[in-house]
Amino acid sequence: DLPKQVKIVEVGARDGLQNEKQVSTEAKIAFINSLSACGVRHIEAGSFVSAKRVPQMADSMSVMQGIERHSGVTYSALTPNIQGFEMALAAEASEVAIFGSASEGFSQHNINCSISGSLQRFESVMALAKLHEIPVRGYLSCVIDCPYDGETDPNKVALIAQTLLEMGCHEISLGDTVGTGTPLRVARMLEAVSRLVPPSLLAVHFHNTWGQALPNIYQALQMGISTIDSSTAGLGGCPYAPGASGNVATEDVVYLCQQMGINTGIDLNKLAEAGWMICQSLGIAPRSNVSLALRSA
C-alpha cells in the first residue's frame, strides 16, 4: 500500500550546496526563502562542521540568521559534535542532525573517528539537545555500499539505526551515499532495518549517481516509508564519497508522487523555478529530468 502523503526533507541547501562551487550567502538565503514559498516544510539549511573540511558550509550561521522564518517550516542543520550543536543553537535551528556511518571506512574519512567513537560523541549532542528540547534527526551513511569498505551488511545498518533511535533520534535517515543501490538490495536492507525500527520513523536518502534513486524510492514507499530526502535540481554530492553525485531531484520526487496521488504539499512549477534560480548562481542547468521537461513542454 502506498501512503496518501509523504514528508519531503529538502537537503539542497546543505547536501546540495556542500558539494558545488561556492555561491554567495545571499544566493543561499534567496534559495531557502524560495523553497518555503513553494510549500517545502522541511529545509536543511546548513551544516556546522569544520570550515577547513567543507568551506561551502562556512557561512551557515549567516544563512540561518538571514532567512525568513515561516511557522510550520523546520529549518535544520548538521551538528557532528558539541561545538556544532552550540552554533546551531545560536543560529536558531529548529532541528539538528547527527550523522554517522554504517561502515568504518566512511566514518573515518567523513568525521575522523570510528563508528563507536562517533556514537559516543553523539551522546553528548543528544544530551544537550534534550536539554534545549531540540529534535534530533539521525543520519546513517553507506547503508548499501561504502566507497572504502565495499558492500554493507544490512544487519549492521539495522543495529546502528536502532542505536540512534534508542539515543533519542526522532527519525533515522538511511543514506545510500554512493548511489549504487537498486530496488532488490534496498528492499533487503529496509527489511532488516524495519525489524528493529518502525518504518514510520525511517527516511530514505538516495544519491542518484547510478540513476536508481526513483525506483528505490518507489520500493521504499511500498514498504511503508513515507519520508524522503531530496535536493532541488539534484544538486550536490558528498566530499568524502568520491564520484558520488547529488541526491535525487526534489522535482522528480514531487512529480512521481503527484502521478501516484500522493500529496507532497509542494507546488511543482514554483519549485522548478527555485531550482533554475539557484542553478543560475552556480552556472549550471538543473539535474532534474522533470525540471528540464517542464521547461521544454
Binding partner selected for residue 291 from ligand HMG, Mg ion, none, CB under the kind-specific 5 to 8 Å limit: none
Which residues from 76-115 bind ligand HMG, rule CB under 6 A? Answer: 78, 80-81, 83-84, 99, 110-112
Out of 146, 169, 238, 279, pick the active-site residue. 238
Q: State how far the Cα of 165 lies from the Cα of 272, in Å rounded to an integer.
A: 34
Contact mark string toward ligand HMG, 26..55, x via CB under 6 A: ---------------------xxxx--xx-
Among this protein's residues, is 142 annotated catalytic? no
- 252 binds Mg ion per the rule CB under 5 A: no
- Enclosing H/E stretch for 100: strand 95-101
Q: Is 216 in the site for ligand HMG (CB under 6 A)?
A: no
Q: Which of 191, 76, 184 is nearest to 138 (CA)?
A: 76
* Position among 15, 20, 145, 176 found at the interface with Mg ion (CB under 5 A): 15
Comparison of 10 and 15: residue with beta carbon closer to Mg ion: 15
| Max Cα distance, the chain (Å) | 52
Binds 122: which of Mg ion, ligand HMG, none (CB < 5-8 Å by kind): none
Q: Which is nearer to ligand HMG, 5 or 242 (CB)?
A: 242
> What CA–CA distance (Å, rounded) separates 48 from 264?
28
Q: How far is the CB of 35 from Mg ion (least distance, A)?
A: 17
Grid coordinates belonging to 289: 529530468
End-to-end CA distance of the chain: 32
Task: Report the residue number whose CB is nearest to ligand HMG.
Answer: 175
Closer residue to Mg ion, CB minimum distance, 15 or 171? 15
Do 20 and 282 touch, CB atoms closer than 8 A? yes
Q: Hey, which bits of 113-155 come out as E strands? A: 136-141, 145-146, 150-151
Cell numbers 501512503: residue: 3
* Sequence-separated (6 or more) residues with CB below 8 Å from residue 78: 14, 44, 46, 47, 48, 49, 84, 96, 97, 98, 99, 139
**Binding partner selected for residue 47 from ligand HMG, Mg ion, none, CB under the kind-specific 5 to 8 Å limit:** ligand HMG
Return d(Cα 121, Cα 118) in angstroms, integer: 5
175 binds ligand HMG (CB under 6 A): yes
The C-alpha atoms of residue 284 and residue 267 are separated, in whole angstroms, by: 22
What amino acid positions are annotated as catalytic residues?
238
Chain residues that interact with ligand HMG, rule: CB under 6 A: 15, 18, 47-50, 53-54, 78, 80-81, 83-84, 99, 110-112, 139, 141, 175, 177, 205, 207, 238, 240
